[in-house]
Every structure is written in structure tokens, then in C-alpha cells.
Chains A and B, each alone.
Chain A
């Protein structure tokens, strides 16, 4: 069977499965629609959270980022997992105890203010929409390469599927679909990793393979990679290249952003008890770490394979650049998508792929001819580069799409529920019937898909970076408001609103300053590079600064204004204990 037919078959089968589950578990009440009736087992919820959490960025982009950035990409690994410690210890059990449907609802109640609730909704929508853009682009990439549709068509097909899927599902349907999607994506991610680790090192466990010696050699894989890259003028793989302050703040932004992302927090509203919420965060991180500890191995091995294909260090062609006419099939396939581009600058018919300022043995400057190697293709091309069988390649396509769909569904639910439950039911039309609330959230979902699709066609960067912006927003606005709401009784309505607005404001301005106002190309105020950044802090890392501004402003303003009323103090006492307080 041809690769394309096999891919259609595998992807089609997984779609049929998701839609079947979503149809069987569709929601009838708002409680089922928003929080799956609070009846999800903590381990299963952990698995669903894994799929909800691991997006196109985790599945497709992360190993690619690691492949090209080496050590510096550790910020994603630590940032996107360390946040779960904060979630488990600072937020999830308390918010589960509170026991309502949405994150803005808690903020609105705790700060006894509809203004706070609306600010939280705006933060949530901005963060979630930014995040959904990354998923849309991921779906487009997977479709365009594997089903050989143009990128735009791929994006539209993806939007249509997400639409059917999210509208049918509700939290109940989404939960059980996400469990299936987790199984698909983790299988699709680990199988090629095991094959490649075996090929390169003879060790089937990728996490150990990365530390092993190359098969049939005494050289460690990481040493070989460092040497190959440095010989060709690239940066060393295992050491830090970026500024220390930026890496520290970037990691911190991703951690508190992770803990503050509403679509993740919401998943812990679905378990039966407070103690389930605590352990369920642990299970989530177990399922996430299976992929996240594999990714560094995939990244390093994919990079080594890519370099060896273009410039072998052993065998009959050792030290000779690959002839363009003899390039492998995967190279041609990816050229068609425009994500891989070659320009024969010196006209010798061979591919020179080198870092900046590389000079050959005769001291001649050699120009890099791989003018575009999109990071996003590394995971998707990896099985082909390693010459794995067709079914593995088809599986990777299905896995990438599963990752993007499950995250998109979770995000769209967060957006839709904040519009229907917080804005419509909570603030504008409190006497709305349950039936019209359900309808409203489904309409809100459709609108969100349209907006996300537009930005998917005009993305501000590659998938993981777009997603990183969402973290800055969640970090600077939602996380501090939630944490202070639980841990600092003295913070009042005015303090919280001022804090959220100033944290969000300064972060957004900083991002727009370097990335263009609302990401429109050409409207940025300064070039987006380390030389122009404030203290070398990149826009993606600025959420940490925004969060500190939020904490400081909320604390100072609350100190100058009256303390929260007594019933709010009792509310805080209540959420601090799993059991019911009798007064």
C-alpha cells in the first residue's frame, strides 16, 4: 500500500473513533458540558490532561526546537512540566474544592466583582486564542505533508473537524475522546523514537539511548553530535548559548503560565474529590513526562541523522556534501511543502549545510545553502529520514493530528464556556435557561474556530513560539490572581483588577513592541533580537516580569483600599480545607 493511502486509512480510522466516542458521550446538561458531571477517575483524567496539554507544539514542534537549539530548548522541557508542581500545590485542589464550572467564575466570586470576572474572561480568551493558533498551524502542516493538500486546505479541513468534534463533545465527550487521543499520540511518538534509538545506539529506551555510545563505536552520541555541529560552524549542542537571565525568566514564565492556563485547570474540576485533584495532577505529569523525556532523544537523534544525510562523517562518502540530484525522497517531499528549501549558491550541485562564518579546509567562506529548514518538520520527517516502514510514518501523522485536535477541543471549550457561562449567564442574562446556555456555548465555539483559523493562516512565528505567547499572558494575568485569591486573604477587588490589568498590559505591550501590534507584520517598534530586548529578555520570557508586576500592584493597591468583606474571608477559609466547615 502506498504511504498516502496508508496515511488516509490510519488518520481516517482515528477520526472515526473520536467522532464515535464524542457522539456516544455527548453532553445533555451544562454540568456535563462544562465539567463532565465531576465523575472522571483521577488516572483517566491524568491521561485526558496529557492529551489536552500536549499540543501540536509538544508533538510536532518541541523535538524540532530541541534539535536546533540543543540545551537552550530545555526551557520548554522544564517550563512545561515544572508548572504542574505549582498546579498541584498552589491551585488545583483549592479550585476543585470551590467546585464551580469556570476559572473566571472563581475570580469573579473571590474578588466579588463582575469587573474582575470580565477581565479574567478577556485574559482567558486572549491566552486561549493565541494557543489555538499554534494548533491550527500544526494541523495545517500535518495535513499538507501527509495528505498532500495545500497548507490552506489542510487548515480548513482541520477547522471543519475541530468544529464537528468540539460542538458535539462538551467536556464529557472531550474527556473520553482525549483519553483515546492520548493513546494514539503517545504510541505514535514513542514507536519511532524506539526504532531510531535502536538504529543509532542499539538501546531501545530513548531516554537511555541519548546517553549511550553510537552503535559499533566508542563515541557517545552527544559527543558525536557536539563535534559534528561545531565542525560545521553550528553552536555546541549540550551547552547554553542564550543569556542566563533570559533562560531563567523564560522557564519561570512557562511554569507559571502552564499553571495558569484555564483549559488545563478546568480538567481538574472534573474529578470527584479534592484528594483526587492532587493525585490527578501527578498522573497528568506521569503521562506528559513519557513524551517529554523522549523528546530530547528524538531531537538530538533527528539532528544527527539530518547532518549525516547531508554531510556523512563515515562510510564511502565521508566528508563529502550530498549531491542535490541524489537527495532522498523525504527531502523532495518536504521541498514540495515549502518547509524545506535549497539554493545552490555556489553552483556546484551539492548541498552545503553550515552554520554562520563557516570556513572550509582552505579557509574559504562557505555559504549555507539550506535556506529554510522549518523546525516543525523534524518530528514528522524523522521516521522517513531514519528509513522506517510506512505504517510508522502514517502513525506519526495520526499522532500529530490527535495532539492538535485534543488541545484545540480543550481550548475551544475554555473559550466557549467563558463566553456562555461567565459573560452571558454570569453577567448579562442571569436568568438564561440551561438549554439556551448550551446553545450559546456552541455558537461561541464556532466563532472562536473562525478567528483561530484566520491567525493560523497569518501566524506570527513557528508553532511553539506562538504558543509561548499564550503562556506569557496566562503567567502575567491569571496565575497571580488565582494564587493570591487562595493564599492572600487581604487582596481585594480593586487590587486584583488593577494587578491583572497592569500585568497583562505590560506583557502585551512588550510582546507587540517586538512582534508587531496584534502581530501584523511590519508594525513592530524595534527589531526582535537580543540586542534590542530589555536586559536581554525575549518577548516570550516577559510573562514572568508581568506576573511580578501583577503581584506587586495587587498587593500595594489592596493595602491602600478596604479589606474584602467577611463572607469573602469565609469563602477563602472554606477552599483551604477539603472538608466542609461547620459554622
Chain B
């Protein structure tokens, strides 16, 4: 591996990815599920679900699952790009 610089770049790409994912994480749960839940409840989805209630009890959970697999996939790519994967 080409020294310190590349290690730093790997780490800052990782941090950028984490921050991006956590912004989505925050928006679906705290944003749509809590802070904006009351106004969103006037919208109905999947039949009779008030939207804010749906995000709080269903939607945010689905988003979390997708986020983790997305993060794992991107990190594996970064590992390869910077040549820091195991073995």
C-alpha cells in the first residue's frame, strides 16, 4: 500500500460514507417518524396507514436494513480500491 496518504484517504472516504448513511438514518427515524410525524399523518399509504405512523413503526426499520447492506457493499468496494482487504 502506498503509505500514510492512502490510509488517510481510505479513512476519510469511510467517514464520508458513514456520515451519508447516518444522515439518511436520522431523516427516516427522527425526521419522518417523529418530528414530522403529525403533519405526515394526513397522508395515507398502503391502505390505511397514516404516513408518519408508518415511518415510525414500519418504514424506518426497512430503511435501516437497506442502509446496512448498502454500507457493507460500499465498504467492501473501498477495501479493494485502497488495497486494505484481508488476505
Q: Which A residues are closer than 8 A to B by beta carbons?
A: 66, 71, 74, 77-78, 81-82, 84-85, 88-90, 93, 207-208, 210-213, 220-223, 238-240, 244, 247-248, 251-252, 273-275, 278-279, 281-282, 285-286, 289, 292-293, 296, 573, 576-582
CB atoms of B68 and A84 under 8 A apart? yes
Is the beta-carbon distance between A77 and B72 smaller than 8 angstroms? Answer: no
Q: When the two chains form their complex, are residues A207 and B58 in contact, meaning their CB atoms are under 8 A apart?
A: yes
User: Are B71 and A88 within 8 A (Cβ)?
Assistant: yes
B25 to chain A, nearest CB (A): 5
9 smallest CB-CB distances across A and B, nearest first, come from A220-B48, A74-B56, A278-B72, A211-B47, A282-B68, A211-B49, A296-B57, A211-B46, A577-B84
Kindly report which residue of chain A lies nearest to residue B30, judged by CB atoms: A248
Given contacts A74-B57, A577-B10, A578-B85, contact A90 B64 (CB under 8 A): no
Whether the pair A296, B86 counts as a contact (CB closer than 8 A) is no
Question: Within 8 Å CB of A580, what residues of B?
Answer: 86
B binding-site residues for A, Cβ under 8 Å: 1, 7, 10-11, 14, 18, 21-22, 25, 29-30, 33-35, 37-38, 41, 45-50, 53-54, 56-58, 60-62, 64-65, 67-69, 71-72, 75-76, 79, 83-87
Give CA–CA (A78, B35) in the complex, Å.
Answer: 14
Give the CA-CA distance A360 to B53 in the complex, in Å.
30
In the bound complex, CA of A208 to CA of B62 (Å): 14
Across the interface, do B86 and A273 meet the contact criterion of CB distance under 8 Å?
Answer: yes
Take A578-B86, A579-B84 as given contacts and tell me if A275 and B75 are in contact as well, using a CB distance cutoff of 8 Å.
Answer: yes
Which of B50, B68, B75, B83 gathers the greatest number of chain A CB atoms within 10 Å? B68
Out of B21, B33, B61, B84, name the residue touching A292 (CB < 8 Å): B61
Given contacts A85-B22, A275-B75, 9 further A-B contacts (CB under 8 A): A71-B53, A74-B56, A85-B67, A275-B72, A278-B71, A281-B72, A282-B68, A289-B62, A296-B57
Rounded to whole angstroms, the CA-CA distance of A582 and B83 in the bound complex is 13
A317-B11 Cα distance, complex, nearest whole Å = 67
Q: Which residue of A lies closest to B83 (CB)?
A: A579
B60–chain A nearest beta-carbon distance, Å = 5
Main secondary structure of the interface of A (DSSP, over half): helix
Which of B14, B29, B71 gathers most chain A CB within 10 Å?
Answer: B29
Q: Which residues of A contact B79 (CB under 8 A)?
A: 275, 578-579
Residues of A within 8 A of B71 (CB): 85, 88-89, 278
Cβ contacts A to B, 20 pairs, < 8 Å: A66-B57, A71-B53, A78-B61, A84-B64, A88-B72, A211-B48, A213-B47, A222-B48, A239-B38, A244-B34, A247-B34, A248-B35, A289-B65, A293-B57, A293-B61, A293-B62, A576-B11, A578-B84, A578-B86, A582-B1
- Among B14, B34, B50, B64, the residue within 8 A (CB) of A285 is B64
- Distance A80 CA – B53 CA, assembled complex (angstroms): 17
A89→B72 CA distance, assembly (Å): 8
Cβ contacts under 8 Å, B84 to chain A:
577-579
- Contacts A296-B57, A578-B86 known; A82 to B49 CB distance under 8 Å? no
Q: Is the CB of B61 within 8 A of A71?
A: no
- The residues of B that contact A247 with a CB separation of less than 8 Å are 34
Contact of A221 among B48, B64, B68 (CB under 8 A): B48
Contacting residue for A208 out of B21, B46, B50, CB 8 A: B46
A285 vs B61: C-alpha distance when bound (angstroms): 9
